[in-house]
């Protein structure tokens, strides 16, 4: 079974948004898909209930039922966690286009401009189709933010 990693390099931020570039990498360390991420702005935070970025680092990601998003998208979503950020923080990867849509989570798209990513639905669905509900890793790196 192929183990994937979603590598995110955050590179610019504004008042209520942070943009990063992502690469979905297979176990042979080959990129299989890429695009951009949109996350909340501000300092990295481990506490639940805040619309803040999670700290840079390595995370486990497991597809799970989300009461808010699974019925809408008709599929489970990946939840991120590690030894410092609890699964209960409910950091998800989901569809959205603007900083206000992040809700403390990570959004995927194919192009960006400040506070906006485009084609989030198609990009997110493509990544989820490649992952096919398999566990994966997420590595987040702050570059210049």
Q: Does residue 28 have a pLDDT over 70?
A: yes
Q: Tell me if the pTM is above 0.75.
A: yes
- Sort 56 into a burial class: Cβ within 10 Å, 0-12 / 13-18 / 19+: middle
Mean pLDDT to the nearest integer, 27-31: 93
Can you tell me the distance from the alpha carbon of 39 to that of 105, in angstroms, rounded to the nearest whole number?
6
Other CB atoms within a 10 A radius of the CB of residue 60 amount to 15
Residue that wins the pLDDT comparison between 48 and 31: 31
DSSP 105-124: SEEEESEEETTEEE-HHHHH
Can you give the residue range of the structural domain that contains 80? 5-142
DSSP for residue 98: B
Q: How confident is the model at residue 53 (pLDDT cuts 50, 70, 90)?
A: confident
Q: How confident is the model at residue 2 (pLDDT cuts 50, 70, 90)?
A: low
Q: How confident is the model at residue 104 (pLDDT cuts 50, 70, 90)?
A: confident
Query: How many domains would you assign to the chain?
Result: 1
């Amino acid at each position: 079974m192929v183990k994937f990693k979603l590598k995110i390099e955050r590179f610019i931020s504004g008042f209520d948004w942070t943009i990063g570039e992502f690469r979905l990498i297979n176990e042979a360390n080959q990129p299989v898909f890429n695009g951009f991420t949109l996350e909340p702005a501000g300092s990295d935070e481990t506490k639940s209930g805040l619309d803040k970025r999670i700290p840079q680092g390595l995370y486990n990601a497991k597809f799970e039922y989300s009461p808010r998003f699974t019925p809408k998208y008709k599929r489970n979503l990946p939840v991120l966690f590690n030894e410092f950020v609890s699964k209960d923080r409910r950091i998800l990867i989901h569809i959205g286009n603007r900083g206000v849509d992040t809700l403390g989570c990570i959004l995927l798209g194919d192009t960006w401009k400040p506070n906006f990513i485009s084609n989030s639905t198609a990009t997110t669905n493509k990544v989820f189709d490649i992952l096919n509900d398999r566990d994966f890793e997420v590595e987040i790196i702050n570059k210049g933010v």
